[in-house]
Structure 1
Amino acid sequence: MWCVAVDGRTCIGSGMCAAVAPGHFRLDGAVSVPKRTELEPDDVVLDAAESCPVEAILVRDADGTVLAPEP
């Protein structure tokens, strides 16, 4: 299981995540929100996190290891 979070203070609402992974992210006003905060592993979520221009998306595995954005 993966955990996904979007830092609403950092997000600029570019919509890249929703474009890359529309099944996992949506824009709510001026910020992105994950459709689910816990989900089965899906590489498209990593792609969305890596595409965020301000690295507002954090993806962790069940152990808490950060999977994206890459350090």
Structure 2
Amino acid sequence: MRIVLDAERCVGAGQCEATAPELFTQGDDGLGLVRDRPVTPELLGPAREAVDRCPVRAIRIESSVRTGWARGAG
């Protein structure tokens, strides 16, 4: 799994870093940044809480595992 933060939606509220500092930090501009690390099972709870606490819904968790074939794939 990986975390995606939409920089265009982020307003710098800081809830992500306050909730899951292992996964988020804030840049020099005050906007959220995702730390370069995988979302382990131990960090999934804090990651989900950060998603829920983001006031502008700029964060999502995506699965990094493909579950099916792409249309048109050989």
TM-score per shorter chain, which class? 0.7 to 0.9
Structure 1 unaligned residues grouped into runs of 5+: 65-71
Task: Report sequence identity in percent.
Answer: 25
Deviations 1:34-65 (A, max 9, x none): 1026322321001001100000001112346x
Q: Which has the larger radius of gyration?
A: 2
Find the counterpart in structure 1 of residue 50 from structure 2.
48
TM-score, length-scaled by structure 2: 0.75
Report the secondary structure of 2:60's partner residue.
strand
CA RMSD of aligned residues (A): 1.9
Query: Higher helix share goes to which structure?
Result: 2
Report the secondary structure of 2:64's partner residue.
coil
Is 1:25 the equivalent of 2:31? Answer: no
Find the counterpart in structure 1 of residue 35 from structure 2.
35
Query: Higher strand share goes to which structure?
Result: 1
